[in-house]
Amino acid sequence: MTYTNKTFGKFYQTITNLANVGSTSATNVGLYHFTLQSSEAKETNSVVDIGFHYVAASSGAPVDTDSDGAPDYLEDLNGNGTLDSGETKLNDAADLGFRVFITQPPAYPNIP
């Protein structure tokens, strides 16, 4: 096994015989947005790789496909790569999902 340092740690695999050799799909075990490869590319719906997984990264940060400030792995809470109830769309920054906006009431609210 050959390892290298990347964005989130020092155990990314560069050359491995453990890629795509698991017994199930990465989506079945919540690893759609994770990686163990030095390329830092997502597992997506491939056969799961064997080894320690990190969050997939791009430019030194977790992948955020729609650039809305919420990384993909947080928008897809169960890590299966599909939009489920309570999640936001990975490619739609306008999808506010379950976000809460807190506003300040006026200085003299009209309270009965």
pLDDT reading at 99 higher than 80: no
The domain locations on the chain are 2-75
pLDDT 10s digits, 41-85: 999 999 999 999 999 999 999 999 999 899 999 999 999 999 988
Given a contact cutoff of 8 angstroms between Cβ atoms, the answer to whether 45 and 32 are in contact is yes
pLDDT (0 to 100) of residue 17: 85
Q: Where are the alpha helices (DSSP H) in the chain?
A: 72-75
Q: Note if the pTM is more than 0.75.
A: yes
Distance CA 105, CA 27 (A): 44
User: What is the structure's pLDDT at 100?
Assistant: 60
CA dihedral 73, 74, 77, 80 (to 10 degrees): -20
